[in-house]
Amino acid sequence: MDKDKIIQTLILLTQAAGVSGDEQEPAAVAAGCLEPYVTRLHRDLSGNLIGFKEGAGGLEAPSLLIAAHIDEIGAMVTKIDRGFIRFTPVGGLDPRTLLGQAVEVHGRQRLKGVIGARPPHLLTRKERQQELKIEDLYIDLGLEQEQASRQVQVGDYISLDQPLLVMAAGDCLAGKALDNRSGVASLIFCAAELAEVRHYCHVYFVATVQEEVGVRGAITASYGLAPDLAVAVDVTHGLAPGIPEEDGFELGGGPVIGIGPNFHPVLVEQLKVLAREHHLPYQVEPVPGPASTDSRAIQISREGIPSTLLSIPLRYMHSTVEMLNADDLLLTGRLLGYFARSIDLSLVEGLKCI
């Protein structure tokens, strides 16, 4: 799978609307992409998409879980106010990024809308100095109250509407839901790599649901599958003006390996060794507290699952112009593949000796 193919995969994934709790569309896209590379594929009762790739080790072989969440931030209808739609966030919507954005309201049919607010000309001086709040915003569908009430009801989902942009140099991409469809794309890339080689361990590729509202899919998937070890794949902050170097990572600098209490030191070291051995650039992120990713849920599932975290640097997180470098996505998928191929019984036994 080359860069052009992975970019096309990412376009398909990001254009599917999948707000937390309503991930059917992107899960169907991911299933179509994963199916050629796995032994079997299903969705569990929580909605997680699970692809199983059988290893060569037979019954005694350990199992590896690779998880990337497939849901995205969005909103939900709370009120129809004279034809205008009031809404509440689903996940971490930033009001600063919303004014003027195009959206789709998932009513009886998909309805195009735009997010509006009172224009600055009609605000008092004090109001112009205040921070914009969700309560100040509404969605304009261009419909009257009666028309809107026939098409929309309280509880309908609202997704952001933004195509994926290929930037000038061709390496960087910007759009919505790259947190974390990029992780899902790297998971698919890894599956394609493993389809061409022999590996000892069994691998579960899991596109988890509802991460943005409490890592819920990771909780149920890790409990149900009970793997011997796991890697979560997500995004982290990319360097940009105003972001301190210790809080951001270079786009194009390779995947970011998490270090901290959530992450098993043997697995962290294994990722570093493999990256150096195969001449893959990587970066390191200290995470002293609980990680705000699926890795947090996986680590404390059942009696504990040794786990680690790979992150893709991403600028403008939780906006419609999230930006990444496609090379980081490919490097993440490749490192995941080398990691899966390195797992044997001796490595898993060594996880108990720290």
CA angle (328, 177, 63) in 5-degree steps: 60
Q: Taking a C-beta distance cutoff of 8 angstroms, is the pair 229, 343 a contact?
A: yes
CA dihedral 221, 11, 241, 272 (to 10 degrees): 50
Q: HSE, CB side, 13 Å, CA atoms: give it for residue 98.
A: 28
CA angle 135, 138, 140 (to 5 degrees): 175
3-state per-residue secondary structure call for 121-150: HHCCHHHHHCCCCHHHCEEECCCCHHHHHH
Identify the DSSP state of 50: E
Is 211 tagged catalytic?
yes
Cα separation, 69 vs 216, in Å, equals 10
Structure tokens at 171: 């390496």
CA distance 262 to 299: 7
CA distance 188 to 30: 8
Question: Residue 113: CA atoms inside 13 Å, Cβ hemisphere, count?
Answer: 32
Helices (H) and strands (E) in the chain, counts: 10, 17
CB 269 within 8 Å of CB 263: no
Asked whether the beta carbons of 232 and 68 are under 8 A apart, the reply is yes
In sequence order, which ranges of the chain are alpha helices (DSSP H)? 3-15, 24-34, 125-129, 145-151, 178-194, 216-225, 265-277, 294-299, 326-342, 345-350
Determine contact, residues 335/310, Cβ cutoff 8 Å: yes
Out of 23, 72, 211, 322, which one is annotated catalytic?
211
Asked if the peptide bond before residue 325 counts as cis, ω within 30 degrees of 0, the response is no
Active site residues: 211
